[in-house]
Amino acid sequence: MKFVFTGNELTAVDIKNGERVESKTFISNVHPAVTLSMIDPVHTKKAYRKRISSLANTASSFSLYISLKENTFPYINSNIYYLKNDNVWTVADYDESSWPKGYMLITPATSKSDKWADCINIVTYMKYEDVKQWENTTVEKRGDAYLQFKKEKTEKLLDLVEKRYPGLRSCIKNVYSSTPLTYRDYTYTQEGSLYGIQKDFNAAIETYIPPRTNIPNLYLTGQNINLHGILGVIIGSMLTCAEYTGLNNLIRKINAAQ
């Protein structure tokens, strides 16, 4: 994808299928560093690009998607969060021997049964550096070493899950896995980051990204510009909307709608 300029004015976006989308105003919820990679450097300030590209990202994840044999694993009507110890803040801080330190497990509801699950999703943290050696590859073209890496990580994660759910492997029909590279390539998120750019309360200004860019009709939104995660998406979208409506006016309308 590429931003198209007429002189110094952003006028369109060329997307992968060859279509050109024209507009007077553009809002990008893609990671700011990825957004900038779609823009000819002549249209942005060098210092701005350097600052955005230098910001650290939050951790990514390794996920398992398991299809189950029929009527073998119970449906669990809640998310399960498992930690090896009581320190929830160090789950993403691991080495080769300590990974994984925990996981989230969910059994999505199905219309087939309210007693048995037909699939399981398991998510744990994984650093981008663990898969960096394959960063120049694309989906389904990463090579045998990458497949072996995923297989080994799958087994290690299942080993940990079976401590809580003994016999899980005997319930599995098929298992599929994804890595930070999967998230990067499917969501256009820098390094497959789960929560976007890493915020630092000791350097709040340095890690804050305003929705308004130096391109007059290009705005940013989403979890990268203000706060992390789902809350960040909500607050980020409000800040972007406020660029059009004015913040006080927007807040009045929100309060009036309650």
Q: What is the CATH number of the domain that holds 34?
A: 3.50.50.60
Mean of the pLDDT values across residues 86-97? 91
Q: Which residue has better confidence, 45 or 204?
A: 45
* CA nearest neighbour of 190 among 1, 31, 36: 31
Q: Clarify whether residues 77 and 169 are in a common domain.
A: yes
pLDDT > 90 fraction of the chain, expressed in percent and rounded: 79
Predicted confidence (pLDDT) per residue in 197-235, tens digit: 998 888 888 888 999 999 999 999 988 988 888 888 999
Mean of the pLDDT values across residues 111-117? 90
SS3 161: helix
Structural domain harbouring 27: 2-56+198-257
The pLDDT value recorded for residue 205 is 84
CA 149 to CA 130: how far, in whole Å? Answer: 10
Q: Clarify whether residues 6 and 102 are in a common domain.
A: no
Residue type, 190: Q
Does position 258 have pLDDT exceeding 80, yes or no?
Answer: no
Give the residue from 147, 171, 191 where a domain finishes: 191
Q: Clarify whether residues 67 and 184 are in a common domain.
A: yes
What φ, ψ does residue 26 adopt, rounded to 5°? -130, 140
Give the residue from 191, 207, 240 where a domain finishes: 191
Q: Are the C-beta atoms of 160 and 82 separated by less than 8 Å?
A: yes
Number of structural domains the chain divides into = 2
Pure H helices in the chain: 32-37, 46-54, 144-164, 180-187, 204-207, 229-245, 247-257
CA 66 to CA 162: how far, in whole Å? Answer: 14
Q: Clarify whether residues 180 and 203 are in a common domain.
A: no
Q: Clarify whether residues 148 and 113 are in a common domain.
A: yes
Q: Clarify whether residues 68 and 176 are in a common domain.
A: yes
The pLDDT value recorded for residue 188 is 86
Give the residue from 191, 221, 245 where a domain finishes: 191
Mean of the pLDDT values across residues 12-31? 94
Q: Clarify whether residues 106 and 212 are in a common domain.
A: no
> Residue 16 to residues 3, 72, 167, 240: CA-CA distances in angstroms?
12, 43, 45, 26
Q: Clarify whether residues 134 and 74 are in a common domain.
A: yes
Q: Clarify whether residues 84 and 154 are in a common domain.
A: yes
Find how far residue 181's CA is from the centre of its chain: 11
Does position 137 have pLDDT exceeding 90, yes or no?
Answer: yes
Q: Are the C-beta atoms of 163 and 156 separated by less than 8 Å?
A: no
The pLDDT value recorded for residue 130 is 98
* CA nearest neighbour of 75 among 29, 27, 111: 111
CA 56 to CA 207: how far, in whole Å? Answer: 9
Does position 111 have pLDDT exceeding 90, yes or no?
Answer: no
CA 102 to CA 100: how far, in whole Å? Answer: 6
Q: Clarify whether residues 38 and 99 are in a common domain.
A: no
The pLDDT value recorded for residue 201 is 83
The pLDDT value recorded for residue 152 is 98
Q: Clarify whether residues 113 and 159 are in a common domain.
A: yes
Does position 237 have pLDDT exceeding 80, yes or no?
Answer: yes
Does the predicted TM-score (pTM) go above 0.85? yes
* CA nearest neighbour of 187 among 57, 89, 90: 57
Predicted confidence (pLDDT) per residue in 52-73, tens digit: 999 999 999 999 999 999 999 9
Q: Clarify whether residues 31 and 145 are in a common domain.
A: no
